[in-house]
Amino acid sequence: MALAAADAAFTGHPVLGPLVQDLAFEAAQGGSVAMVWRRHAVTMGSEDLRFVAQAWELTERTGAPLADALASASEVLRAHARRRERLASATAGPRASMVVLCLLPLTGPAVGVACGITPRELYLSTRAGTASLAAGLVLAGAAWWWSRRILARAE
| 85 inside domain | no
For residues 7 and 11, what is the distance between their CA atoms, to the nearest angstrom? 6
53 and 94 housed in the same domain: no
- HSE value, Cβ hemisphere, 13 Å, CA-based, for 41: 15
The model carries a pTM of 0.64
Q: Which of 64, 80, 106 is the last residue of a domain?
A: 64
Condensed to tens digits (0 to 9), the pLDDT of residues 27-82 reads 889 888 899 999 999 999 999 989 999 999 999 899 889 899 989 999 999 999 99
Neighbouring C-beta atoms of residue 31, cutoff 10 Å: 12
The residue range of the domain holding 120 is 90-154
* Amino acid (1-letter code) at residue 132: S
User: Helices (H) and strands (E) in the chain — how many of each?
Assistant: 8, 0
| 80 inside domain | no
96 and 138 housed in the same domain: yes
| 23 inside domain | yes
- Per-residue pLDDT at 4: 81
| 38 inside domain | yes
The DSSP annotation for 69-87 comes to HHHHHHHHHHHHHHHHHHH
* Amino acid (1-letter code) at residue 116: G
Residue among 15, 66, 72 at smallest CA distance from 44: 15
Position 155 pLDDT exceeds 80:
no
Condensed to tens digits (0 to 9), the pLDDT of residues 100-151 reads 888 888 888 888 889 998 888 888 889 998 998 899 889 888 988 988 898 8
| 79 inside domain | no
| 78 inside domain | no
| 124 inside domain | yes
Domain count along the chain: 2
Residue 138: exposure state from Cβ atoms within 10 A (0-12, 13-18, ≥19): exposed
| 130 inside domain | yes
